[in-house]
Amino acid sequence: MSIDEQFQSVATSVRNWKTKPSDNENLALYSLYKQATVGDVNIGEPSGLVEKAKFNAWKGRKGMSQEDAKKEYINLSQQWQSKYA
């Protein structure tokens, strides 16, 4: 299975977890997902509290390659799978 196929499979699995991860864990997954699928932040900073937290988490991944973001997303998701699935 390629890294892209593995990433898509894991991302689908995460969306179906029975329990929601903590806010910090969610931000980590969100920022890695965005970095993996879009690359560096390409939008202006939003004004809402939640949106700003998500934006800043993603912005913190600036410079990370999309492939590295996919690998880290897969690793974190697998670590937390038994906790939330």
pLDDT digits (tens, 9 = 90+) for 48-70: 999 999 999 999 999 999 999 99
Residue ranges in the chain modelled with pLDDT below 50: none
Distance between CA atoms of 84 and 51, rounded to whole angstroms? 23
- For residue 8, the model assigns a pLDDT of 98
Q: Is 63 left (phi over 0), alpha (psi -120 to 50) or beta?
A: left
Sorted by where each begins, the domain ranges of the chain are 3-84
What CATH number was assigned to the domain covering residues 3-84?
Answer: 1.20.80.10
Give the rounded percent of residues in the chain with a pLDDT score beyond 90: 99
Distance between CA atoms of 14 and 39, rounded to whole angstroms? 20
